[in-house]
Structure 1
Amino acid sequence: MVGLLVVSHSAKAAEGIREIAAEMGSEAAPIAAVGGDPDGGIGTDATAIADALAALDADEVVVLVDLGSAVMNAELAIEMSDKTVVIADAPVLEGAVEATVAATSPSATLDSVREAAERAGGTSKR
């Protein structure tokens, strides 16, 4: 099964996005959220991201990030992980929702879930 990890500079934002995505995916796909710096402020932390990856019940994981600097910490965390992990180039909320829905498919693969997240970048809000 493919899991998802939402990484945000805000712990509250990460958890809110996880909550919305989990609702849309009927909580069938493993999805976790991590955000904030080690002191509880705004930022990201590679160790916290690595811990979230390790705790996620999935061997393959698609990571969605809110801002570019979160990519650097996610990449560091991926280097520490023994899982197969990719970072989707997608809007974090819309991408998380689309990826979660895609991950619930019995035929879901790491690539198909990442691609679903990335297609969300072209979604119109009108």
Structure 2
Amino acid sequence: MSGSEPLVGIVLVSHSARVAEAVADLARGLAAGGPVAPLAAAGGTAEGGLGTSADLIVAAAMAVDRGAGVALLADLGSSVLTVKSLLAEEELPAGARLVDAPFLEGAVSALVTASAGAPLEAVVASAAEAYGYRKA
């Protein structure tokens, strides 16, 4: 990849702002060593409580969109449903995709892959492959 091509953006959607930010910080730290793809956390409600905010998700997706697609990883329940609803209503950038992947491992894998300049399909596949990571 040449330096002029846009990188896939990534949004981490969690019920908790602290969880989303912590996973984003960990992923950034592990992907360091070169250019890091745009990454945003969209956690909690607009008032700072636990929950999911469509407005925060849309703002995060717009902030990381560079024209190469946006991969959204959601933790559970209503965060998944909210992203699906935003996709169905076409409120997210063109090329936005909900990724079926474990939240933490998928986020790290997606960010490392996106930072290497991979296209959206490869970022999605890399994050999904994180389901296969075995710890024992």
TM-score of the two chains, using structure 1 as the length reference = 0.92
The structure that has the greater radius of gyration is 2
Deviation readout 1:64-89 (Å, 9 max, x if unpaired): 11003211211233321233111111
Q: Which residue of structure 2 aligns with residue 7 of structure 1?
A: 13
2:78 is the alignment partner of 1:69 = yes
User: Are the aligned partners of 1:46 and 1:76 in contact in 2 as well (CA < 8 Å)?
Assistant: no
Which has the higher mean CA deviation after the structures are superposed, 51-60 or 108-117? 51-60
Give me the whole-angstrom Cα distance separating, in 2, the residues matched to 1:29 and 1:72. 25
Contact 1:47–1:77 under 8 Å retained in 2: no
Structure 1 position 57, deviation (Å): 4.3
2:45 matched to 1:37?
Answer: yes
Q: CA deviation at 1:105?
A: 1.9
SS at match of 1:40: coil
Superposed CA RMSD: 1.4
Q: Give the aligned partner of residue 28 of structure 1.
A: 36
TM-score (norm 2): 0.85
Question: What is the aligned partner in structure 2 of residue 111 from structure 1?
Answer: 121
* 8 A Cα contact 2:15 2:79, kept in partner: yes
Q: Report the Cα offset of residue 49 of structure 1.
A: 0.4
Aligned partners of 1:102 and 1:113 also within 8 Å: yes
Query: Is 1:91 matched with 2:99?
Result: no
Q: What is the SS of the residue equivalent to 1:58?
A: coil
Instruction: Give the aligned partner of residue 4 of structure 2.
Output: none
Identity of aligned residues (%): 41
Q: Which structure 1 residue ranges, 4+ long, deviate > 6 Å from structure 2?
A: none
Q: Secondary structure at the match of 1:54?
A: helix
**Unmatched tracts of structure 2, length 5 or more:** 1-6
Distance between the aligned counterparts of 2:78 and 2:86, measured in 1? 13
CA contact (8 A) 2:62 2:92 kept: yes
**Equivalences, count:** 125
